[in-house]
Amino acid sequence: MPDTPSSADLAEAARKQRIAIAPAELPAVLAGARWLAGCLALLRKSDLLR
């Protein structure tokens, strides 16, 4: 998954897991996914694991 996931990325991840995502819920799910991407970016840029 790229640093900023798109709707297409999320739909592909769902397809691989055989889980359906309705178009109406995609914006909210995408917001959550982008927040998690922000979490990962924070961990990568910190000096915690250097």
Contact residues for another protein, defined by CB under 8 A:
1, 5, 9-10, 13-14, 17-21, 25, 28-29, 31-33, 35-40, 42-44, 46, 48-49
| Alpha carbons within 13 A on the beta-carbon side of 21 | 18
Q: Distances from the Cα of 36 to the Cαs of 5, 28, 29, in angstroms?
A: 10, 13, 11
Q: How far apart are the first and last CA of the chain?
A: 23
User: Whole-number minimum distance, CB 38 to another protein, in Å?
Assistant: 8
State the minimum distance, in angstroms, from the CB of residue 22 to another protein.
9
Q: Cβ of residue 44: shortest distance to another protein, in angstroms?
A: 7
